[in-house]
Structure 1
């Protein structure tokens, strides 16, 4: 990407019956946003026109047939489909899921071909996206297959960053899914992301225990003593600033999280309940560990308010800004790394 060119943000539309289109259009209704990036929405002219009219949003856009034709200073819409899908706000329909995936697939292909620089995904419904050719529990797993690297669900704000050892699996499967390899891999993904994506040279990472009170020395489960503690000790002795396991019930309430650059939770709700409580709707879902940058707002389709014009677009806007900043941080990290390698060659 040339330094002078504004960053192109690809946007997948999400479930057409949810609030995805609303938060996207509300964000770019403010034309000042076009100074920060060039938005490229993967949908169709007809779909965007229907949504903006139904929601009473005033926005002009530029229709294109390929993301490479997007124009800076305008909101661009790539025409992924020609037909007019039926939109039923607030309803979970197979059609809504199918078009969400059409949009996502087109956006990911454009990302892989460098026609867009980053991807911001609007919310999908994990149930109605399932089909014979799409059997992923969500964005993260699909992106892990399509893009290079090992993915990690990383919920972020400026002051709080929470990753997950396990994400969308039943609670009963959590203990069996956590082993030394998973702990090492996820911790290293977070460490690398903090360095490369957030400019933190020596990140400090806290791990939360699997069981209540981190097992109370084996009284309430042995996983923390037998699995987590040995790995944390091993990584710490190898020079990584990794600490824990901490008892999850008091960790956030006592402001313990403020002493660390990131927290690695054992399972979904252990990490996301405190994160969403503390982030006040401004959190961002970032997929760390991939070759490309992808962010998403930290909320779902919100069918209960879809089509009513009530959706708050702050989380989507934060996801947009975070994607831009992470992309810039990665470019800076790459340049610094290349310069350091060049200096080493000269010294030899």
Structure 2
């Protein structure tokens, strides 16, 4: 790794009435971090200076209107819009949702064009972003449409990684979504990510059951016996180190997760409740399976504290560094995969 490389980290600003702008400013206030990467905030210099003054920050922004003008050693703000925006901290506002999407779309476009290397997204409000032209339940689904690959919500921390078979779908519909093809796809995505993004050569993966107690032999549902177990058995026979299904109620409390490199939960809350309980404040939401790297903090807009200067930037800061680390590992993996002798002679 070159010590003088400048990885460009793009930031979509998220909901302007939430805590996103505050945690972004707090993350980049320490100018020493600019020696490690180059941030590019997709918003407007006008709105970012409003937040700088509101939070009494000493941060200096470098305004640009052309991504070719990104300056290393500075906190760049790319002007996605120039008009004034009415900020009302803590309020859900459809107009504010439109600006969140403008920022996201501009940042993703830059990512696709390699103008930035990594995307870190500040929190959005999933309700106020909906429109005739944007009808996705969240970042992950939008990114899958825009980028190459099969997306997977992968919650990561130092000691725990949790992927999902299904993410933003109603609980009542979960069993109908889980098929052998989906299980194969998600296991393959998690496995590939562990190898290329986390440098784990032979990943061990645990899968949590769909029903309580894995269905208790059909007493509490038959999906585990008819769909999940047969699919996992086939994968094991093919050489995958995938185990389960495990009863979710005792899996985390017994520390069983520590025996695996990743855990795949059947649905959103089954995986995210224990993940956030164990890691809250240090967790990162990583969109695995795509040809570009995107991370985000493991929390939402936190309207209740927006504008008060109380937001904790820890998770956002970890998302920035996680994105950089994953970008570097994946780049090195791809380099060695193309030229295996390079690693031997390095």
The two structures have a TM-score, normalised by structure 2, of 0.97
1:5-44: per-residue Cα shift (whole Å, max 9, x none)?
A: 3100000000000000000000011111112110000000
Query: Match of 1:39, SS?
Result: strand
- By how many angstroms is 1:236 displaced? 0.4
Partner in structure 2 of residue 218 of structure 1: 218
Partner in structure 2 of residue 146 of structure 1: 146
Residues 219-298 of structure 1 aligned to structure 2 (within 5 Å): 219-298=219-298
Query: Match of 1:85, SS?
Result: coil
Asked if 1:24 is matched to 2:18, the reply is no
Partner in structure 2 of residue 89 of structure 1: 89
In 2: Cα distance, 1:4 partner to 1:338 partner: 24
Q: Is the 8 A contact 2:280 2:298 kept in 1?
A: no
Q: Is the 8 A contact 2:336 2:342 kept in 1?
A: no
Query: Match of 1:78, SS?
Result: strand
Q: Is the 8 A contact 2:204 2:262 kept in 1?
A: yes
Partner in structure 1 of residue 162 of structure 2: 162
Aligned Cα RMSD in Å?
Answer: 1.4
Partner in structure 2 of residue 62 of structure 1: 62
1:44-93: per-residue Cα shift (whole Å, max 9, x none)?
A: 01000111111222200100012221100000000010101111100000
Asked if 1:10 is matched to 2:6, the reply is no
In 2: Cα distance, 1:314 partner to 1:68 partner: 30
Query: Match of 2:134, SS?
Result: coil
Query: Match of 2:10, SS?
Result: strand
In 1: Cα distance, 2:342 partner to 2:32 partner: 40
Number of residue pairs aligned between Structure 1 and Structure 2 = 343
Say which is worse superposed, 108-117 or 63-72, in terms of deviation.
63-72
In 1: Cα distance, 2:217 partner to 2:67 partner: 56
Q: Is the 8 A contact 2:297 2:315 kept in 1?
A: yes
In 1: Cα distance, 2:208 partner to 2:35 partner: 40
In 1: Cα distance, 2:307 partner to 2:136 partner: 27
1:101-128: per-residue Cα shift (whole Å, max 9, x none)?
A: 0000000000001000010000000000
Structure 1 consecutive aligned stretches of length 4 or more whose deviation exceeds 4 Å = 1-4
- By how many angstroms is 1:213 displaced? 0.4
Q: Is the 8 A contact 2:179 2:227 kept in 1?
A: yes
- By how many angstroms is 1:95 displaced? 1.2
In 2: Cα distance, 1:135 partner to 1:258 partner: 37
Asked if 1:318 is matched to 2:318, the reply is yes
Distance change in 2, residues 1:342/1:319 (3 Å): closer
Query: Match of 2:257, SS?
Result: helix
Say which is worse superposed, 128-137 or 63-72, in terms of deviation.
63-72
In 2: Cα distance, 1:9 partner to 1:51 partner: 20
In 1: Cα distance, 2:131 partner to 2:33 partner: 36
In 1: Cα distance, 2:100 partner to 2:67 partner: 17
The two structures have a TM-score, normalised by structure 1, of 0.97
Partner in structure 2 of residue 346 of structure 1: none
Structure 2 residue runs without a partner (length 5+): none
Partner in structure 1 of residue 177 of structure 2: 177
Say which is worse superposed, 50-59 or 71-80, in terms of deviation.
50-59
Structure 1 residue runs without a partner (length 5+): 344-348
Distance change in 2, residues 1:299/1:57 (3 Å): same
- By how many angstroms is 1:137 displaced? 0.6
Q: Is the 8 A contact 1:86 1:95 kept in 2?
A: no
Asked if 1:117 is matched to 2:117, the reply is yes
Q: Is the 8 A contact 1:179 1:227 kept in 2?
A: yes
In 1: Cα distance, 2:4 partner to 2:306 partner: 38
- By how many angstroms is 1:281 displaced? 1.3
